[in-house]
A and B are shown apart, each in its own frame.
Chain A
Amino acid sequence: MTPAQYKAVAHKFIENPEQLAAYESRGNCGVLAGPGSGKTKVLTAKVARMLCEDVTAPRGVACITYSNECRTELLKRLSELGVGSSPFLFVGTVHGYCLRHILRPFAKPAGFNLPETLRVAGDAERTECGQQALERILSADEKWGGPDGWGRLIERFRKSRGRGIEGLDDCVPEISCAYQAMLRQRGLIDYDDITNLAAELVTSHQWVRDCIAAKHPILAIDEYQDLGAALHDIVVTLCDHRVRVFGVGDPDQCIYQELQDARPELLAEFADRSDVERVDLRLNYRSGTQLVIAAAAILGDNRQHRAHRSDTGRVKVHSISASSNKWLPRQQAHAKFVVRKLLPSILNDGQDIQPGDIGILVQDRFMAQALAIECATHDIKYIRLDRGLPYERTSLVSWIADATTWCVPLDRGEPPRMSYLQRDWIAIDRTGDRSRDIDTAWTSVVSFLWKMRGQDILLKDWLEDFDKQVVSTCGLADDALERELASLADLIESTKEDGLHHGTPVSEFAIKRGPSSHLTIVTLHSAKGLEFPVVVMPMLDNGVIPRYTLVPNSLKWREQRRLFYVGVTRAMDDLHAVYSKEHGMSSFLSTFVDAS
């Protein structure tokens, strides 16, 4: 490990007192990081520093983030700082952390009566258990929400951990109790169990806290605003137990309250504790001044965000004719305008803008689909990054993405090292049967990867060979890996006719941003963490965002405002907002335009 690597990065923090304050913090630190404020750079440098300077092996640092993709990204950045492969650094999702470092080692000695091998329920199993729970508790005429509606309510209730939820039906606690019992009967747990049980272990057992504090006396947390109540309870309890916490996030970019009961207020709650140093990163390195000021205005409060850049950036509002009250035709009209009119004018602007510099940010996958069709008919290359992936982004899928970039390196960034591929492969393999011969399996993986190296074939063929030569021969087929295997099957399915990855070459599978020849279509939810020189946001109509049904300033209304905020803050230079003149401008957009 060469400490010089993170010190070189940290040297630049001298120019930014806010970043420096976070990097120099000695105790608990809560970092509220505005868009483009370099939060990942600060987080990774700080993690590397704490690992090298503040703990001694065998004690270490745990770094928790939102998703497998974020984990991959963090690991890559930490590897560049020379600490990625330290055995005393854990980087993973909340669920990975809770499962590996809390439930597996402590549930049994604490007397939790859980199945011997913890198996996480698949979607089908969860749905079945949910239905059975509904049938047990509700009479036929009460099931008005349908299993989907109820399922979401149950999920939010379980995630809330006793914090209030607006408009929650009285029988939800009872149903979720029954649902949980159904899962247990089948020897299953679900993701909310993982975090809730972990929180219970941590809050109710002194020795569990002692063990965790001994192993990871430092806890670094990324995307704090999206991680939910269970993790917050764990963090606060451990913080009281002298674990040092470095929490980073942006409450203004919390966009999973509706979906997952993420709570934007939790990060500030943590950062404002008397034993936590609060640092606000307000300097935006991404966007032009006008964009920074206007974006902040959307939020109502004065965030005091400042732009690092001296140029203004541009906001262009396009009003088009799209009279239909139905959404689909309206979306089609917007797609037509964007592809036929707007794109050519952007590309011929004389600013030397490539398609790869453009991100089209959509509110749902129907808009994405309309754009995709329009692009295809005009022979415009694009990649889609909407959340509506036809497969789950499991750790196996993430691994495959890494493996493909090892085989065919992307035109930006370093390809992953073989040793990281090995580490992650073994981590996946180990979740299954331990008696399996991991070395033999890894050997077959290596020979497969070398065979595929440098061959930019169709993803379909790559995956089929992988399935045949690696998965089915090394005995990966295993109950504990059901989700991973299902995601692989779905991924392979998506490479067939009409699938998302039909005709996708290996070289394009892993790219987050298209090559310069491809524009990017992405939903607002998936756009978090991305940036584009030019952002196009269609369908910013009155009644669409915020939805006409929402009461101003209600929770859902505020979440939509944060979603809009995430969108506009992706733009570096130019933002193109499109609305239908027949319906009028979104109230968020008009606030934004007024301020810019």
Chain B
Amino acid sequence: MKLSRLIIKNFRNFESVDVPMGQHTVIVGENATGKSNLLAAIRLLLDPSLPERSRMLRAEDFWEGLNDPITNAHTIEVSVELQDFSDNKRALAVLADCIVNAEPLTARISYLFGPLLDPDDPPKSLDDYEYVIYGGDNRDLPLGYNLRRFVVMELLPALRDAEGDLSGWRRSPLRPLIQAAQDAIASRDPDLIPNVAKSMETAFGDVTSIDEIAQLIGTIQSRLVALVGDDHAVDATLDIASTDPARLLRSLQLVFDGEAKRTISEASLGASNTLYVALRLLGLEAAEDERTHTFLAIEEPEAHVHPQLQRVMYRSLLRDSAGNADIQSLLLTTHSPHIASVAPIRSILLLRHTGTASVVRSGAQAGLDECDVHDIERYLDVTRAELLFAKRVLFVEGDAERFLLPAFARELGIDFDRIGVSVCSIGGTHFEPFVKLVAPSALDIPFAVLTDRDPRPGKAPLAVPRVKRLLRILDDPHGALQHGADTDTFAAAVRQTGIFVGIHTLEFDIMGKQSGRQEMATTLRSFARGEHCNKLATQLADLEIAPDEEFANKILKIIEKIGKGRFAQRLAGQITTETCPEYIADAIRFIAKIDES
């Protein structure tokens, strides 16, 4: 079963949210964008442990952009849609009354907090408000607790105390597992546990009857009596564990590190957190008898877990389970690029501030095909999902641009880090999946694309069909496609859409500048690659005008030998404003300005 869609109206940070969701949900966003509130919204529907009075919302739960929400009779609404439950008969039994779509079979559960309707008597206070939880789109079918308790979301909050929970009994994630084991033992052989308990009691008796220990027990007890008198003194003694058969298994503890048998309090925070999540997941599987499905929500699963472990653990939970119908759906809120980088792209929910409300965007709404998904997920994995944490993104073709653009920006007085621009090098010219992902219709991350013109003899430059494909993805908001005939006009027209086309390729364009030739020559020499290279560097520095194709290619060949990225990295230290080609300067100013309105 999965949550396939989330709709929120007027709840806390959210004015209006309607997003599709994937098999899992990984919620990313800056602080105070409402990641926890998003889970809180879902809890109104799916968390039966939430006390009733928490479902009676308060004035501060209305979206703050509303004027006098109560006297204006505004409502708060939350709906989730669920799919992939038809193989689970018990889940289907609950959701049968909630069907909103037959193909694919989709159920909806909704929470509505609104005024009791009386047209003559508008609400005066929250006393006139009531909530209802119903299935489908028919409020005549209220969904009672006796059904809701079977489809549940369990939340592990950010401030969980994994160690504390693990060492107690009542809240221990071990508890349901041990209880299940105990039941199984009892039905197999009812005498087994009592017998073990008896022999333990005998063995422990030997310990406490050792003279020194027995004496110590006596001392403790008499001191207690001396202190508070007979009536108040508890009957204190020393023992190793309870030997009451009913409580015997409770004294089982998790121990680590083989022979040393260290207890949980000695384990690292990371280890105990990892173990905690693992046990919770096991516990949910064991509880499938009482519930038909549990969604597990974990706030900040990265807590105390080091990056590599985060990646290993959540890659297996989020990705390797693909295609398995019985998999446990997870909802995570995270600041960790390591977790985001192994998350399936369709599971990403991106939260961002805009004015007074947070907007929520989903990777599932990007219209990505399987190839796109593959490209993007590989990219996010390698780049640690930097793209998802950026406020604006500048897509470039290769490493040369990745090193040079922040340098140019700095020279132009713009600090990419400060304004949250990520320069993302996609390693080629296949921008489409990335643009699909960040487009306004999908994650809606402000972006610009910087691409080479790549001229071809006798044909339109390669950049033209490349850019046209991007414009189609973006629905060509500024009508640039009609300027396709002449490449210069076309390149000028697409700038409004944030696509910047070079004159030739980056290195060519830098060589087109006097200062650029000087800086490249200096950089070439610095690699000390011998006579031939130095001679070419001198020739380059001496040129009065842009080099011809043949000469430029000689220079490029050397740069390629050095490595474009490595060369650019060193060139970045040399670069000056005059060298910056106009289209690059324009791209930098464009990405810096977006969003400022």
Contacts and interface: CB of A to CB of B under 8 A. Distances in A.
Genuine A/B complex: yes
Interface of A: 56-60, 87-88, 104-106, 108-111, 117, 205, 207, 210-215, 217, 430-431, 433-435, 437
B90 A210 contact: no
B186 interface: no
A109 B147 contact: no
Contacts of B137: 108
Nearest to B98: A105
A207 B86 contact: yes
A207 B105 contact: yes
A109 B101 contact: yes
Interface of B is mostly: mixed
Contact of B92 (A117, A205, A211, A431): A211
Interface in B77-104: 86, 89-103
A106 B99 contact: yes
A197 B142 CA distance: 23
Nearest to A87: B146
B292 A58 contact: yes
B140 interface: yes
Interface of B: 86, 89-103, 105, 116-117, 130, 132, 135-142, 144, 146-147, 150, 292
Contacts of B103: 207
Contact of B96 (A87, A88, A110, A211): A211
Interface of A is mostly: loop
Contacts of A205: 102
A212 B99 contact: no
> Which of B91, B96, B98 has the most chain A CB atoms inside 10 A of its CB?
B96
A48 B146 CA distance: 19
Given A58-B147, A109-B102, A437-B116, A212 B140 contact: no
A353 to B, nearest CB: 49
B140 A434 contact: yes
A215 B92 contact: yes
Nearest to B150: A58
B43 to A, nearest CB: 20
A57 B130 CA distance: 28
B127 to A, nearest CB: 12
B90 A109 contact: no
Contacts of A434: 132, 139-140, 142
A58 B146 contact: yes
A481 to B, nearest CB: 13
A110 B102 contact: yes
A58 B136 contact: no
A104 B105 CA distance: 16
A105 B117 contact: no
A478 to B, nearest CB: 12
A117 B138 CA distance: 9
A60 B93 contact: yes
Contact of A58 (B90, B98, B99): B90
B68 to A, nearest CB: 21
A215 B93 contact: yes
Nearest to A214: B92
A111 B132 CA distance: 26
Nearest to B117: A435
Contacts of B86: 207, 210
Given A87-B144, A434-B132, A214 B96 contact: yes
Given A108-B138, A437-B130, A214 B100 contact: no
A434 B141 CA distance: 9
Nearest to B145: A87
A117 B139 CA distance: 10
B92 A105 contact: no
Contact of A207 (B91, B102, B136): B102
Nearest to B92: A214
A59 B105 CA distance: 19
Nearest to B88: A214
A108 B137 CA distance: 9
Given A56-B90, A108-B100, A207-B105, 16 more contacts: A58-B93, A58-B292, A105-B96, A105-B136, A109-B100, A109-B136, A207-B86, A207-B102, A211-B92, A211-B99, A212-B96, A214-B92, A433-B117, A434-B132, A434-B140, A437-B116
A545 to B, nearest CB: 46
A214 B140 CA distance: 21
Contacts of B138: 104-105, 108
A192 to B, nearest CB: 22
Given A104-B138, A434-B132, A214 B90 contact: yes
A217 B116 CA distance: 37
Contact of B141 (A87, A105, A211, A214): A105
Contact of A59 (B89, B101, B139): B89
Nearest to A106: B99
> Which of A105, A108, A217, A434 has the most chain B CB atoms inside 10 A of its CB?
A105
Contacts of B117: 433, 435
A292 B138 CA distance: 52
Contacts of B92: 210-211, 214-215
A404 to B, nearest CB: 29
13 contacts: A58-B94, A109-B99, A111-B102, A207-B99, A207-B103, A210-B86, A214-B90, A214-B91, A214-B92, A215-B93, A430-B140, A434-B142, A435-B139
Contacts of A56: 90
Nearest to B99: A109
Contact of B93 (A106, A109, A214): A214
Contacts of A212: 96
> Which of A56, A109, A435 has the most chain B CB atoms inside 10 A of its CB?
A109
Given A59-B90, A104-B141, A215 B96 contact: yes
A213 B87 CA distance: 12
B194 to A, nearest CB: 28
Given A207-B102, A214-B92, A434-B132, A105 B146 contact: no
Contacts of B132: 434
Contacts of B99: 105-106, 109, 207, 211
B144 to A, nearest CB: 7
Contacts of A106: 99
B105 A214 contact: no
A212 B97 CA distance: 9
A583 B230 CA distance: 103
Contacts of B93: 58-60, 214-215
A211 B102 CA distance: 11
B116 A435 contact: yes
A108 B92 CA distance: 18
A147 B529 CA distance: 108
A434 B99 CA distance: 19
Nearest to B135: A105
B81 to A, nearest CB: 12
Contacts of A210: 86, 92
A214 B374 CA distance: 37
Contacts of A214: 89-93, 96
B152 to A, nearest CB: 12
A284 to B, nearest CB: 39
A87 B132 CA distance: 18
A56 B90 CA distance: 8
B123 to A, nearest CB: 12
A472 to B, nearest CB: 16
A582 B101 CA distance: 69
